[in-house]
A and B are shown apart, each in its own frame.
Chain A
Amino acid sequence: MEEVDGFSGTTPTEETNGSGNLMDFLDEPFPDVGTYEDFHTIDWLREKSKDTDRHRKITIKSRESMWEMIKSLLDAWSGWLVMLLIGLLSGTLAGVIDLAVDWMTDLKEGVCLSAFWYSHEQCCWTSNETTFADRDRCPQWQTWAQLMTGYTEGAGVYLLNYLLYVLWALLFSFLAVSLVRVFAPYACGSGIPEIKTILSGFIIRGYLGKWTLMIKTITLVLAVSSGLSLGKEGPMVHVACCCGNLFCSLFSKYSKNEGKRREVLSAAAAAGVSVAFGAPIGGVLFSLEETLWRSFFAALVAAFTLRSINPFGNSRLVLFYVEYHTPWFMPELVPFILLGVFGGLWGTLFIRCNIAWCRRRKTTSLGRYPVLEVMAVTGITALLSFPNPYTRRSTSELISELFNDCGALDSSQLCDYSGANANVSTSRALDDTPDRAAGPGLYSALWLLTLALIFKIVITIFTFGIKIPSGLFIPSMAVGAIAGRILGVCVEQLAYHHHDWIIFKSWCRPGADCVTPGLYAMVGAAACLGGVTRMTVSLVVIMFELTGGLEYIVPLMAAAVTSKWVADAFGKEGIYEAHILLNGYPYLDQDEFTHRTLATDVMRPRRNEAPLAVLTQDSSTLEELEALIKETDYNGFPVVVSRQSERLIGNSVVYFTEEAPQLPASNPQPLKLRRILNLSPFTVTDHTPMETVVDIFRKLGLRQCLVTRSGRLLGIITKKDVLRHMAQMTNQDPESIMFN
């Protein structure tokens, strides 16, 4: 680019995109061009070319001096540094959340007198007064009723405990919803539908901000501790993406380029899943994007950081890490597939009911009382969950107990088999307990579990989507685990009482340990989770990372695939896609577009609308321009050669030309804005089938595309037009797509 004697005032880092001239006083890069407005989609092509330019400039400069070379190395390594920081911060926050949830859940029932910051298990850790019969009790930890009245038994004590449980639950959820409402309203909900939309190119300002990060972390703890039927996995992904956004702003490589930022965000999402489940590989698969290595690195660092905080003792990453190696048998595939069918059916039921309820919340007066709604749901949940010991404790503990196989030392009701303690043979290894008949405790446990199952199925429908951080993974795993465990015990009892039937005879001798109900619980959990979210591969990987048992891949896969088939037979979307549709986010999904429409049917302007607003390359005046901008609210205008020929030059933000004529100094000087012109807009002809157009939008990440016929400009198609058209084709309301 030729500089003209010293006037231009250019900065050294500008783009070289045209010839300079004396009156080119707009040579410095526009401060606001290139930043996107809220609720708009980004232009992937522009971001990608900006990044390639930046990289080329750095490479050229790096040959000049040593300092520049170091700067270029730093630039290359900044990606890895960002991943490291994200992993560290996500792991730390996950550890803090786990420790705090542990403590606060127990706070509802009692307090540790020696050190108030210990949960029940930690309080009794050093006590020497635990006996075998009362393994969980110790004098240092007292329930509230015991603290206030000094008694431990009795109806009055039970009622007092009940009352305080409900009051604590209400207090926690009230705090949570007020904090969300006052400080960061974007912190409510799960976050995964919005993150998926953001990753596909939508801009939501403030969704990944610092206040959202802090409030989400804090209120997540409060929400989970209040005993509501929600999990923390989805919100953990949001928290991790907020960390990603935070560190992006430290490096200009990522802060100025939305496309690169999304690479970092997808890796951060992987780190979030990794710490939520303790499954780094599953986390990477969940994020489902390119840049696999960087995502894996972030996920690994996060898992490592969480492990060193060691929130659960024993250096485990997740509460329900089980390690058994009992084999499973071929005929057991039948109940596993049954569990898959159950998972698919429950998934469909849940999605339909939840979306209906959320739609009602959006449109009717129910949505105007969010605080009251949260309190009411918490109150009902606490009232109904206290009497049943399986719902009183936290859902993660419940799942952990259901996944575990019964050893000889388990004193819980679920392991109450008749003849358990009396004549244990001394020549067996510990986990090889044979199948036995169920004792009375087991029957009452099964009955309580059935009630808990029904309760959880109903209450989760109303809980997911309220105005505090709420996740879905743990409640759906709980539903599946309960169903699986019940089925497993039934199969076990069937095998015990009828071991002379044909199916059992081949693989189940009397006195052998054939059936492991814990495995059925795991398979059930995987099936229900798959039915709701429609994950397959990442789900299986997460589940076998949780259990450490590669031998259970086949049952898990069978259940996951069956549940996805059954659920897909009723409706194509998982819960997150359904919420994306409900909110009308402009998210272009991977589905095939199979309708036979053409580009002319979708383009704007339609036949009865005003003609296309275009600018000519060298004959528009500044006042025409200002009038145009004031009257319409479009974001871009095509620039044509002239109004008669309407041949395309390019698509620009404001108008302009290539060579300004040299006018004498008395006339007003021309305004040259070539710099902001995009000289290579995408065009299609008017007879291009929409299938191809949708494909182009999806694969290239376009924001708009122009329609021409024999070189003449006819109209424009934007991404939102495409989405509205797709919605119309599937008989949804096209006006529900978010537009500005």
Chain B
Amino acid sequence: MSTVVQISTFLLASLVLVNVLCPAHADKSYEDVRCKCICPPYRNISGHIYTNNVTQKDCNCLHVVEPMPVPGHDVEAYCLLCECKYEERSSTTIKVTIIAYLSVVGALLLYMLFLLLIDPLIRKQDPYTLPLQNEEDSEDVRAHIDSALGRGNTMLERVEGAQQRWKIQVQEQRKTVFDRHKLLS
């Protein structure tokens, strides 16, 4: 199980990394860049928000506010009131991140449901069921597992062995934190 986790972690990391590096080279989509100017009410003109797709150098009142609502001599005064900001974002990064995150959460939820509901049903007939034990016997259980499953070296058996070991580890952690409150108060 841990190799699967390793692989998926690396995949997720590389996926996000790739999406980080690629947009830097590709052209930004039209919608991802904008210059936003907020102009408050002035005399008898109501407040308005103007957006336009210009470069950062041109992100000022003169280039973005069109059509200019005031006559020529008033433009400077009006523009002093307006606040212009250049903003950019990467919509692909957002989309990929959110969808990847949701899929990982979904996968974990499914695995959790499997572990809690379906796994005990499968293992009921299994001769390798772990007896309930306290911590002192965990050494013996580990040896028991190793000896019982050590006979087969197929992929499935190895995965199962790794999964059993992981389950014991999590159980011990759970005891330390939740039951005996030895760690993490």
Contact = CB atoms under 8 A, between A and B. Distances in A.
Given A210-B6, A409-B83, A188 B40 contact: no
A186 B89 contact: no
Interface residues of A, number: 70
| Chain A CB within 10 A, most for which of B51, B97, B176 | B97
Nearest to B93: A309
B101 A96 contact: yes
Interface stretch (A177-185, A274-282, A601-609, A634-642): A177-185
Nearest to B80: A426
Contacts of A221: 101
Given A99-B98, A178-B112, A184 B170 contact: yes
A88 B77 contact: no
B170 A424 contact: no
A260 interface: no
26 contacts: A92-B17, A96-B100, A99-B93, A100-B101, A103-B94, A118-B94, A130-B49, A131-B47, A131-B48, A131-B49, A132-B40, A185-B176, A185-B178, A194-B183, A204-B183, A210-B6, A213-B9, A214-B104, A215-B108, A218-B104, A308-B20, A315-B88, A361-B181, A367-B181, A421-B41, A467-B177
Contacts of B112: 178-179, 182-183
A408 B46 CA distance: 15
Contacts of A363: 181
The 8 residue pairs across chains A and B that have the minimum distance between CB atoms: A132-B47, A117-B98, A185-B177, A362-B181, A358-B185, A185-B173, A313-B89, A189-B184
B182 interface: yes
B109 interface: yes
A96 B16 contact: yes
B110 interface: no
A72 B21 CA distance: 32
| Chain A CB within 10 A, most for which of B24, B90, B98 | B98
A385 to B, nearest CB: 24
A89 interface: yes
Contacts of B99: 117
Given A218-B108, A424-B81, A310 B49 contact: no
B7 to A, nearest CB: 11
A315 B173 CA distance: 40
Interface of B: 2, 5-6, 9, 13, 16-17, 20-21, 24, 31, 34, 38-41, 46-49, 51, 77, 80-81, 83, 85-91, 93-95, 97-101, 104-105, 108-109, 112, 115-116, 166, 169-170, 173-174, 176-178, 181-185
Contacts of A184: 170, 173
A408 B81 contact: yes
Contact of A122 (B38, B88, B89): B89
A184 to B, nearest CB: 7
Contacts of A430: 80-81, 83
A185 B49 contact: no
Interface in A114-154: 115, 117-118, 122, 125-126, 128, 130-133, 135
Nearest to B175: A185
Contact of B88 (A92, A103, A314): A314
A249 B30 CA distance: 44
B105 A408 contact: no
A361 B182 CA distance: 12
- Where chain A touches its partner, the secondary structure class is helix
A117 B17 contact: no
Contacts of A189: 184-185
B5 A100 contact: no
B38 A409 contact: yes
Nearest to A189: B184
A175 interface: yes
A206 interface: yes
A579 interface: yes
Nearest to B112: A182
B5 A310 contact: no
Contacts of B109: 175
B133 to A, nearest CB: 17
B185 A362 contact: yes
Given A309-B20, A367-B181, 18 more contacts: A92-B20, A95-B16, A95-B93, A100-B97, A100-B98, A181-B174, A186-B183, A194-B183, A210-B6, A211-B170, A215-B108, A221-B101, A314-B86, A361-B181, A408-B40, A409-B83, A426-B80, A582-B185
